Chain A
Amino acid sequence: MDFVWDQREVILGGFRTTVWLAVTAGVLSTVIGTLLAIMRVGPIPPLRWAGATYVILVRNIPLTLVFVFSTFGLPRMEIRLSFVAFAIIALTVYHSAFVCEAVRSGINAVDAGEIEAARSIGLPFRRTLSLVVLPQAFRAVIPPLGNVYNALLKNTSVAVAFSVAEASSIFRRLSNDDASATWPLLLTTAVGYILLASLVFLGVRFLERRSAVSR
């Protein structure tokens, strides 16, 4: 346990990187995923097809492969960034597809009558979406979106194989340094992940409560 205490700064640093990856990729994939969802429900066929194709392609390949594309592939296209930036790109590309599906399911959950009413008072597509559908979809979207964020938090650990010093790779490195400390390190890291997952859970529940309305 002494070893873990001595290395507390390193371990905390690992978790800081994990949080940084999760938060940045979370914000970016929320923005991109929402845009993709709007493309998919919109009236313009080429955008609908593009959105659908993106989701089908990305959802069916492993995140590790997306990481290979970004960390090892992008430099071959003469795009040079830090390993953390590559990791954020991979995580964003991957989770945007899942955010898109979560948002789309939220849009589909909005009562048909609301949309018909919006249309019958003459709102065009964009206003129907921005004034009527999306505010209500937001509410229905929180639980599935919470699942995506939870998965994103855990998926940051894939960066372990791509030169990013996040929590799991710190665990691997330190237990290589001192094999006798493996189990204390394992438990410390597990507790760290569980704490972060609880934070996500509490955040989602808070949003759920706040946006709850009696219908």
Chain B
Amino acid sequence: MTVALYDAPGPRARRRTLVGSLIGGAALLLLGALVIKRLSDTGQFRGEFWEPFGRAGVQRILLRGLVATLKAAGLALVLALVLGVVLAVGRLSSRRSVRIVSSTAVQGFRALPLVFLILFAFIALPELGIDTGPFSSVVIGLTLYNGAVLAEIFRAGILAVPRGQVEAAYSIGLRKGSVLRVVQLPQAVRIMLPALVSQLVVLVKDSALGFIVAYPELLRSGRRIYTNIGNVIPTAMVIAAIYITINLILSGVAAWIEARQRGGWRRRSGVPVEMSLGVPDAGVAT
């Protein structure tokens, strides 16, 4: 919040804020109490629902699920990076046909739901004789969708590299491909690094769609627990806590890189450069 919507409060406003805080706080407490009462009335805090999380077997299931989530998200990130670079470079190509194909792919994959892309890999690709299991389906779906999103981030990053850099590279005799490879991409990646790490948060969350095709990621592992024990709400709470922890750590890393990078840019060039990018619908996806 850069702008205060209200003045520094005087005595009357302070009193009003206090009254508002009391009423608002009381309303929130009441709401919380109602939810907790409902939960306890329906027996969600029973020992036998929570005790299993102390057992090594259940913990192992969750841990394996977590590893599977990170595996799918990590592999999809690497593949999406490759696809993203290819599509971004394609969109900036000087050949019209290449540009059209790349833009169509980017727009298409971004317009289709990720669930649908995963189902495409899971149901339609086997019809062509391409054998895809749950794991490959999730990775293919995540790669196609995030490749398209990353292509947009890359394109913005490449275009954000100062023109003088490109002109300088041409004037010392580099060819187009070399300019891209040696001058534009390395700088673009630096600019985009925070956006890339934030995209990893999206990928971790999206990998939960493996649930749909029975890929045993974290959420699916949770299903295995609650179908056995019947503790849907406790399990969902535990899993929510795990997701929130991972994602807050990743967001923290992204913020740290961004802060460090800003300092770096400033030190090096002596000019504060505002290089942060607007990321197209980052985070909004599942």
Contacts and interface: CB of A to CB of B under 8 A. Distances in A.
Interface of A: 41-47, 50, 56-57, 59-65, 68-69, 72-73, 76-78, 98, 107-108, 110, 112, 115, 119, 125, 128-129, 133, 147-148, 150-151, 154-158, 160-161, 168, 171-172, 175, 179, 182-183, 186, 189-190, 193-194, 197-198
Given A108-B3, A194-B111, A161 B212 contact: yes
B247 A44 contact: no
A29 to B, nearest CB: 12
B10 interface: no
Contacts of A190: 108, 112, 116
B233 A73 contact: yes
Identify whether the interface residues of B are mostly helix, strand, loop, or mixed: helix
B236 A147 contact: no
Nearest to A125: B6
Given A62-B286, A161-B211, A41 B5 contact: yes
B59 interface: no
B276 to A, nearest CB: 14
Between B127, B207, B251, the greatest number of chain A beta carbons within 10 A of the residue's beta carbon is seen for B127
Identify whether the interface residues of A are mostly helix, strand, loop, or mixed: helix
A197 B111 contact: yes
Contacts of A171: 116, 119, 123
A68 B232 contact: yes
B6 A50 contact: no
A65 B239 contact: yes
Interface string B104-116: 0000100111111
Nearest to A151: B284
B123 A151 contact: no
Given A65-B236, A158-B209, A150 B281 contact: yes
B283 A175 contact: no
A77 B234 CA distance: 12
Contacts of B2: 108, 112
Contact of B42 (A42, A76, A108, A129): A76
Interface residues of B, number: 59
Interface of B: 1-7, 9, 13, 17, 20-21, 24-25, 28, 38-39, 42, 44, 108, 111-116, 119-120, 123-124, 127, 201, 205-209, 211-212, 219, 222-223, 226, 232-233, 236, 239-240, 243-244, 247-248, 251, 280-281, 283-286
A4 to B, nearest CB: 14
A172 B28 contact: no
B247 A175 contact: no
A166 B208 CA distance: 19
B219 A115 contact: no
A125 B9 CA distance: 11
Contact of B112 (A108, A115, A154): A154
B209 A60 contact: no
B285 A46 contact: no
B26 to A, nearest CB: 9
Contacts of B28: 46-47, 50
29 contacts: A41-B1, A43-B9, A44-B24, A50-B28, A59-B283, A60-B243, A62-B209, A62-B219, A64-B286, A65-B219, A68-B222, A68-B223, A72-B236, A78-B42, A115-B5, A148-B281, A148-B284, A151-B284, A154-B111, A154-B285, A157-B114, A168-B113, A172-B119, A175-B124, A183-B127, A186-B120, A190-B108, A193-B111, A194-B111
Given A62-B208, A62-B243, A147 B24 contact: no
B208 A193 contact: no
A43 B17 contact: yes
A9 to B, nearest CB: 21
Contacts of B6: 43, 119, 125, 128
A45 B21 contact: yes
